[in-house]
Chain A
Amino acid sequence: MTLLGIPILTLLIVLPIVGGLVVALLPKSAESQAKHVAFAIALLEFAASIPLWFGYQPGGPAFQFVENLPWIPGIGASWHLGIDGLSIFLVLLTTALSALAILGSFSAIHERTRAYYMLLLMLEGAMIGTFLALDMVVFYFFWEAMLVPMYLLIGVWGGQERIRAAVKFFLYTMAGSVLMLVAILWIYFLHFQQTGTYTTDLLQLYQTNVPLGAQTWLFLAFAVAFAIKVPMWPFHTWLPLAHVEAPTAGSVILAAVLLKMGTYGFMRFAMPLFPNAAYAMAPVINLLAVIGIIYGALVAMVQPDLKKLVAYSSVSHLGFCMLGMFAFNSPGWAGSLMQMINHGISTGALFLLVGVIYERRHTRLIAEFGGLWKVIPVYSAIFMVVMLSSIGLPGTNGFIGEFLVLLGAFQMPDNRIWAILAATGVILSACYMLWMYQRVIFGTITNAANEALKDLTPREVAVFIPLLALIFWIGLFPNPILTRMQPSIDYQLEFIRTRALDQREHAARQAIGALLPAPGVQATTGTGAPR
């Protein structure tokens, strides 16, 4: 499908990047207008992503809007983009949240605005590229390229510790992903050895029979890269630092979209490429996920800083995504995907809310506030809805995701214990969120500085209305989303299951072939280096 003669997925990647350049090249006198131009571009980008929702055929699992052009024929890399039920909502989430994050930055960023909005737009393009890529080199390309704008956003417009946060963010992610690059090359050669063609096309690499012994290592190389991004306990230490130091829009994008690259990476790459290792490692991942759920919640509870509290709640919420995913069943995956979207909406909104209050008071300490309901009722009301959706109150979006995740985990006899433990995380999240809300919003005004607080401006209300609408829409009518996801989820799960069996059969055949070297049976080495 094309828009203005350009294939729509390429357009979605290129538009924000070119838009970023446009913003950067605005004359210096237009410094104060940069935000409007950037918002217009982000809105245009969002409008361009709407055809995905309406044009998407919910009936089947196949990739849609596919573009496949040779890119670097010498190594077999192709510009292969496509969208399915797993990625469509993440792309829509990205275009929507990026526009809102830009709108939410209008009054927060006064210095170097052209550079700021340029980086936000370029970041958007790279993130969309990561979700759309169906070629390992294209994926890795965007995955790494995305680090640069985020790094600069944190490092230039961040808080006190911004430099340390930015460098830590960059180095952590980079350190995780370089081993993934080696693993990508490994499977690339393995595929060549088995088929005789060099390709980095994901759908072809899916068909590789990875020896079971090597699979664990390759899965680990991918899993570490993604686990750092998610972040799973104990790889989460960069996250609170980055979140706290980043400017509001940076935190929003970080929470709403960037973390999802990790969870999405497991679904799209790590699990289908190395299904046997994924099954084998499931207990470890589930354990880490549950530790993350409970640990994140407990640490969030004692945070004096609002942003840090939200950051640790992310660790907890993303644990649910992992738990659902590694249940290997349909409700688990649907819940995991829903949780990704919901976390993007709710936590994005929470960061925006913290940003609003920070702009007014230049502090985020819970102890500085109290009794805000009387001064800024609109803010408090919106905060309540968002907070409840983050807890997962029925009727809001958060409920659907957590419920499905727990259902999925509970259906698997081995995972039942994890589901029970994770359910305590739901209770804990209610504790820290409600307690925080009570201390900030209810009670009497203890700090005189809060008496003069101004309520939300119309622009700020305009930022939150779409988010509130999404919270209730997904909470009450999740079906349009679930039906679009379901075929892809079922297909991907079935694919993982059958590939796991195929690979085992292949390994067994090779083992037998090695024992009885009959004529015509090729006895290739099973675990050696691909040559």
Chain B
Amino acid sequence: MNSLHGLGGANLDLIVLLPVWVLTATACLLMLVNMTPRRAGSNLSALIALLGLALAGTATWLHRGITRPLFNQMFVLDGFTTYFTLLFVGIAFVAVLLSWDYLKRTALEHGEFYALIAFSTLGMIFMAAANDLMMIFVGLELMSIPLYILAAFRKNRFESNEAGLKYFLLGAFATGFLLYGMALIYGTTGTTNLSKIGSYLLGSPITSTPLFIIGSLLLLVGFAFKVSLVPFHMWTPDAYEGAPTTATAFMSAGAKAAGFAGLLRVGMGALPTVMPDWTHLLTVLAILTMTIGNVTAILQSNLKRMLAYSSIAHAGYVLLGVIAGGPDGYSAVLFYLAVYSVMNLGAFGIVSLMGRGTDERVRVQDMAGVGFRRPWMGIAMAVFMLGLAGIPPTAGFLGKFYLFRAALAEGHLTLVIIAVLNSVIAVYYYLRPVVVMYMTQPEGESLEISPAIPATIAIVSLIVLTFALGVAPTALAEAALQSVLSVFH
């Protein structure tokens, strides 16, 4: 790849941006294809989406190791961008596989679904690659607006409409906060470029002026909404519950990872001098997020809502790495986001298989007796639940281990103790589906399952990854570390 460095110029810019082109083309193509008349049950849209994502992923992989700023330093290609691009493309790929049969069975088969996923993925990539506040804003909007539509995609269902509207309104608020914060930071530093803000703030007294402090806090609030930190989490359970299950899988993994990617970009690029001042604030947020997320999850009888609250709690764990900072802390964040995405996609993937036809089953109780009647499904769900609970030999354990290690290295003992106690609370509700699946019998008729080949492929791969990363994490952990180091240098 080094030979490419010598070429320089705009041509190379276009080549290394191949993943972005491919995804844009895929999304547009999907929109067009959807306008042509096709027979019902056509697989064309899903296939195009898969192909596009696979191409984008391959292109990203081939250009890994290249570090260069693009477009007047608005967009930066480095290890961090590559890591997240691969993660987002992977998440979208799995989401498409899960949706393939799910959309048909729930009568939601419209080509826009895949186009929206492709656009949203593009937005996530922009967020991770942004080196400019404006770029982050564009990425955030490009990611969020398709998600609002996806949340409301079950247009005949009341709760889906509610989900879309709630997500949209609260999301719009959050974007407002974010934009206001950006404006204030621009007003105080005179630039929207992250690196320039960073160097401007170095040793500048501006960081203690009210305007700047308010600006940076508003920025934080905007991100807190997107990754659903308590008390900015109110939209999460409703949006996750109302959205089509595979869209929930996509947003719970992708949007959260993208939110943290944006936060880290700002944190590492623009505000490294300010991050230490945020420690106390983030600590409080982390404690609230973990505890309220976990305790509320215990009370849920709806699997999607339970997983929604659990995903809130996971954002709290991830904050531990953000608080710890430094290469170890940030790489723990990257590692955990990947691991969490794998397990959460799997859990929602299983939920998407429950029920038959448009009759979807999402209560914990619905899983009664599934464990032995559908052994593979039982094992899969158990693996993802124990993984999210952080029990070895799943990747969830090592993910938490890296986070706790990073936080303790910076001396955050109390925070780590609260986090480990929280993971005991979490075990309680993650065990419930396992208890219901294996230790109880259904009261009425037993749960119908709609197995599908693409979803099965996805879930089996996720199980393999959950174990593989749980016993051999080195490759991913090393990649995460190198990605973070590529930003620091």
- Contact of A27 with B by CB under 8 A: no
Inter-chain contacts of B402 with A (CB < 8 A): 75
A141, A155, A181: the one contacting B420 at CB < 8 Å is A181
Q: Is the CB of A144 within 8 A of B391?
A: yes
- Contact of A112 with B by CB under 8 A: yes
Q: Is the CB of B438 within 8 A of A152?
A: yes
* Chain B residue at smallest Cβ distance from A140: B392
- A75-B405, A170-B431, A185-B408 are known contacts; what are 20 more A-B pairs with Cβ within 8 Å? A74-B481, A75-B402, A115-B372, A137-B401, A141-B392, A144-B391, A147-B391, A155-B438, A163-B439, A171-B427, A174-B424, A175-B421, A178-B423, A181-B404, A182-B416, A182-B417, A182-B420, A186-B413, A529-B411, A530-B411
Q: Return the CB mask of B425-461 against A: 1 if under 8 Å, else 0.
A: 0011001001100111000000000000000000000
- Contact of B13 with A by CB under 8 A: no
Q: Is the interface of B mostly helix, strand, loop or mixed?
A: helix
21 pairs from A and B in contact (CB 8 Å cutoff): A72-B398, A72-B473, A74-B477, A75-B401, A75-B405, A140-B392, A147-B391, A156-B438, A156-B439, A166-B439, A167-B428, A167-B431, A167-B435, A175-B421, A178-B423, A179-B417, A181-B420, A182-B420, A185-B405, A189-B409, A531-B410
Q: Is the CB of B474 within 8 A of A185?
A: no
Roughly how many angstroms separate A156 CA and B439 CA in the complex, as a whole number? 5
Inter-chain contacts of B435 with A (CB < 8 A): 155, 163, 166-167
B413, B438, B474: the one contacting A72 at CB < 8 Å is B474
Greatest chain A CB density within 10 A among B375, B401, B421, B477 is at B401
Roughly how many angstroms separate A531 CA and B410 CA in the complex, as a whole number? 6
* Chain A residue at smallest Cβ distance from B427: A174
Q: Is the CB of B427 within 8 A of A170?
A: yes
* Cβ-closest 6 pairs across A and B: A178-B420, A529-B411, A141-B392, A145-B392, A155-B439, A175-B424
Inter-chain contacts of A188 with B (CB < 8 A): 405
Q: Is the CB of B386 within 8 A of A148?
A: yes
Q: Which of the four size classes fits the interface of chain B?
A: 35 or more
Roughly how many angstroms separate A529 CA and B409 CA in the complex, as a whole number? 9
Inter-chain contacts of B398 with A (CB < 8 A): 72
- Contact of B397 with A by CB under 8 A: yes
- Contact of B393 with A by CB under 8 A: yes
- Contact of A162 with B by CB under 8 A: yes
Roughly how many angstroms separate A359 CA and B464 CA in the complex, as a whole number? 40
Roughly how many angstroms separate A179 CA and B423 CA in the complex, as a whole number? 11
Q: Is the CB of A162 within 8 A of B439?
A: yes
Q: Return the CB mask of A71-84 against B: 1 if under 8 Å, else 0.
A: 01111000000000
Inter-chain contacts of B391 with A (CB < 8 A): 144-145, 147-148
Roughly how many angstroms separate A27 CA and B148 CA in the complex, as a whole number? 47
Roughly how many angstroms separate A144 CA and B427 CA in the complex, as a whole number? 12
Q: Which of the four size classes fits the interface of chain A?
A: 35 or more
Roughly how many angstroms separate A403 CA and B431 CA in the complex, as a whole number? 43
Tell me which residues from 143 to 174 in chain A have a Cβ below 8 Å from any Cβ of chain B. 144-145, 147-148, 151-152, 155-156, 162-163, 166-167, 170-171, 174
Inter-chain contacts of A531 with B (CB < 8 A): 409-411
Roughly how many angstroms separate A238 CA and B360 CA in the complex, as a whole number? 38
Roughly how many angstroms separate A182 CA and B416 CA in the complex, as a whole number? 7
Interface residues of A (CB under 8 A from B): 72-75, 112, 115, 137, 140-142, 144-145, 147-148, 151-152, 155-156, 162-163, 166-167, 170-171, 174-175, 178-179, 181-182, 185-186, 188-189, 529-531
Q: Is the CB of A178 within 8 A of B438?
A: no
Q: Return the CB mask of B369-393 against A: 1 if under 8 Å, else 0.
A: 0001001000000000010000111
Inter-chain contacts of A166 with B (CB < 8 A): 435, 439
Task: Determine how close the nearest CB of chain B comes to the CB of A352; give it in whole angstroms.
Answer: 24
Q: Is the CB of A171 within 8 A of B397?
A: no
Roughly how many angstroms separate A112 CA and B371 CA in the complex, as a whole number? 11
Roughly how many angstroms separate A145 CA and B392 CA in the complex, as a whole number? 5
Interface residues of B (CB under 8 A from A): 372, 375, 386, 391-393, 397-398, 401-402, 404-405, 408-411, 413, 416-417, 420-421, 423-424, 427-428, 431, 434-435, 438-440, 473-474, 477-478, 481
Known: A141-B392, A155-B439. A185 touches B404 (CB 8 A): yes
Inter-chain contacts of A182 with B (CB < 8 A): 404, 408, 413, 416-417, 420
Inter-chain contacts of B405 with A (CB < 8 A): 75, 185, 188
Inter-chain contacts of A137 with B (CB < 8 A): 401
Inter-chain contacts of B372 with A (CB < 8 A): 112, 115
Inter-chain contacts of B424 with A (CB < 8 A): 171, 174-175, 178
Task: Determine how close the nearest CB of chain A comes to the CB of B283; give it in whole angstroms.
Answer: 15
Task: Determine how close the nearest CB of chain A comes to the CB of B279; give it in whole angstroms.
Answer: 14
Inter-chain contacts of A170 with B (CB < 8 A): 427, 431
Inter-chain contacts of B473 with A (CB < 8 A): 72
Q: Is the CB of A178 within 8 A of B408?
A: no
Task: Determine how close the nearest CB of chain B comes to the CB of A346; give it in whole angstroms.
Answer: 31
Task: Determine how close the nearest CB of chain B comes to the CB of A174; give it in whole angstroms.
Answer: 5
Task: Determine how close the nearest CB of chain A comes to the CB of B412; give it in whole angstroms.
Answer: 9
Inter-chain contacts of A186 with B (CB < 8 A): 408, 413
Q: Is the CB of B420 within 8 A of A144?
A: no
Task: Determine how close the nearest CB of chain A comes to the CB of B403; give it in whole angstroms.
Answer: 11
Inter-chain contacts of A152 with B (CB < 8 A): 434, 438
Q: Is the CB of B408 within 8 A of A141?
A: no
Q: Is the CB of A74 within 8 A of B439?
A: no
Inter-chain contacts of A144 with B (CB < 8 A): 391-392, 397
Roughly how many angstroms separate A144 CA and B392 CA in the complex, as a whole number? 6
Q: Is the CB of A178 within 8 A of B421?
A: yes
Q: Is the CB of A72 within 8 A of B421?
A: no
Roughly how many angstroms separate A163 CA and B398 CA in the complex, as a whole number? 28
Inter-chain contacts of A530 with B (CB < 8 A): 408, 411
Inter-chain contacts of A74 with B (CB < 8 A): 474, 477-478, 481
Inter-chain contacts of B386 with A (CB < 8 A): 148
Task: Determine how close the nearest CB of chain A comes to the CB of B253; give it in whole angstroms.
Answer: 24
A72, A112, A162: the one contacting B477 at CB < 8 Å is A72
Inter-chain contacts of A178 with B (CB < 8 A): 420-421, 423-424
Roughly how many angstroms separate A142 CA and B438 CA in the complex, as a whole number? 23
* Chain B residue at smallest Cβ distance from A180: B420
Roughly how many angstroms separate A137 CA and B438 CA in the complex, as a whole number? 30
Roughly how many angstroms separate A530 CA and B417 CA in the complex, as a whole number? 15
* Chain B residue at smallest Cβ distance from A154: B439
Roughly how many angstroms separate A175 CA and B421 CA in the complex, as a whole number? 7
Inter-chain contacts of A141 with B (CB < 8 A): 392-393, 397
* Chain A residue at smallest Cβ distance from B413: A529
* Chain A residue at smallest Cβ distance from B420: A178
* Chain B residue at smallest Cβ distance from A176: B424
* Chain A residue at smallest Cβ distance from B481: A74
Inter-chain contacts of B411 with A (CB < 8 A): 529-531
Inter-chain contacts of B409 with A (CB < 8 A): 189, 531
Task: Determine how close the nearest CB of chain B comes to the CB of A158; give it in whole angstroms.
Answer: 9
Roughly how many angstroms separate A17 CA and B179 CA in the complex, as a whole number? 54
Q: Is the CB of A171 within 8 A of B474?
A: no
* Chain B residue at smallest Cβ distance from A111: B372
* Chain A residue at smallest Cβ distance from B393: A145
Inter-chain contacts of A72 with B (CB < 8 A): 398, 473-474, 477
Inter-chain contacts of A115 with B (CB < 8 A): 372, 375
Roughly how many angstroms separate A179 CA and B438 CA in the complex, as a whole number? 29
Task: Determine how close the nearest CB of chain A comes to the CB of B97; give it in whole angstroms.
Answer: 25
Inter-chain contacts of B427 with A (CB < 8 A): 170-171, 174
Inter-chain contacts of A145 with B (CB < 8 A): 391-393
Inter-chain contacts of A162 with B (CB < 8 A): 439
* Chain A residue at smallest Cβ distance from B422: A178
Inter-chain contacts of B410 with A (CB < 8 A): 531
Task: Determine how close the nearest CB of chain A comes to the CB of B14; give it in whole angstroms.
Answer: 36
Task: Determine how close the nearest CB of chain B comes to the CB of A136; give it in whole angstroms.
Answer: 11
Inter-chain contacts of B421 with A (CB < 8 A): 175, 178
Task: Determine how close the nearest CB of chain A comes to the CB of B378; give it in whole angstroms.
Answer: 9
Roughly how many angstroms separate A89 CA and B428 CA in the complex, as a whole number? 35
* Chain A residue at smallest Cβ distance from B389: A174
Roughly how many angstroms separate A140 CA and B473 CA in the complex, as a whole number? 16
Inter-chain contacts of B404 with A (CB < 8 A): 181-182, 185
Task: Determine how close the nearest CB of chain A comes to the CB of B48; give it in whole angstroms.
Answer: 37
Inter-chain contacts of B431 with A (CB < 8 A): 151, 167, 170
